[in-house]
Amino acid sequence: MNSELNPTAASLLGFLHDEPMSGWDLVARAQQRIGEFWSLTQSQVYRELARMAEDGLVEAGEPGTRARKVYEITDEGRRAFADWVSRPPREEAIRFPLLLVLAFGRHVPKEMLASYLARHRIMHADRLAEYQGERAAMPPQYEEMDPYSVATLEFGISYEEAVLRWFDNLPKQMTDPADRTG
């Protein structure tokens, strides 16, 4: 019953502090607001919501149109969230398959590795541009209104900048194996 909340469930409760939402809404909001550093899938969200409803942390309101179930956080849910918050967060976990391949680069065809690097570099450049766009779109008073969203977005920007710089400093033989100039 009073089992500890996992971070995914906790984040759902976090969003429900603002307003009641459906599972669908929560997926969308989570992907937009925390997707950068915390991924979750639809089926996870429905599973956690069902569990939390059982445990009394959320309550489904009247089913709306389209069997839409809007969940509301309960007092017990707020308590559970506060408990979760009061436990020091763990270190981050990064799982970066590209780096795994790179680490074993000796056993990987050079052209293949180069193509992976090129592809991922583009994805990161795109992401950086996206974050910078979001940052630029924020009204100036936003910084005081919600400094936390600004801070997490800025993490994304710092991170993507670092990744791009790293890509650009890789030895040329890795990114351009065919090139024999220099």
Partner DNA sequence: TGGTACATGTAACATGTTACATGATTAG
Partner DNA sequence: CTAATCATGTAACATGTTACATGTACCA
Interacting residue ranges for DNA, rule: CB under 7 A: 3, 6-8, 22-25, 39-44, 46-47, 49-50, 65-70, 93, 95
Binding-site string for a second copy from residue 149 to residue 168, where x marks contact by CB under 8 A and - marks none: x-xx-xx--xx-xxx-xx--
Residue 10 binds which one of a second copy, DNA, none, with CB within 5 to 8 A depending on kind? a second copy
142 binds a second copy (CB under 8 A): no
Strands 58-60 and 21-22: unpaired
177 binds a second copy (CB under 8 A): no
Residue 43 binds which one of DNA, a second copy, none, with CB within 5 to 8 A depending on kind? DNA
Taken in order 34, 40, 41, 47, the sign of the CA dihedral is negative
Cα separation, 55 vs 63, in Å, equals: 20
Sheet holding 70-73, edge to edge: 21-22, 70-73, 58-60
Nearest to DNA of 32, 39 (CB atom): 39
Nearest alpha-carbon partner for 15 in 36, 37, 32, 3: 32
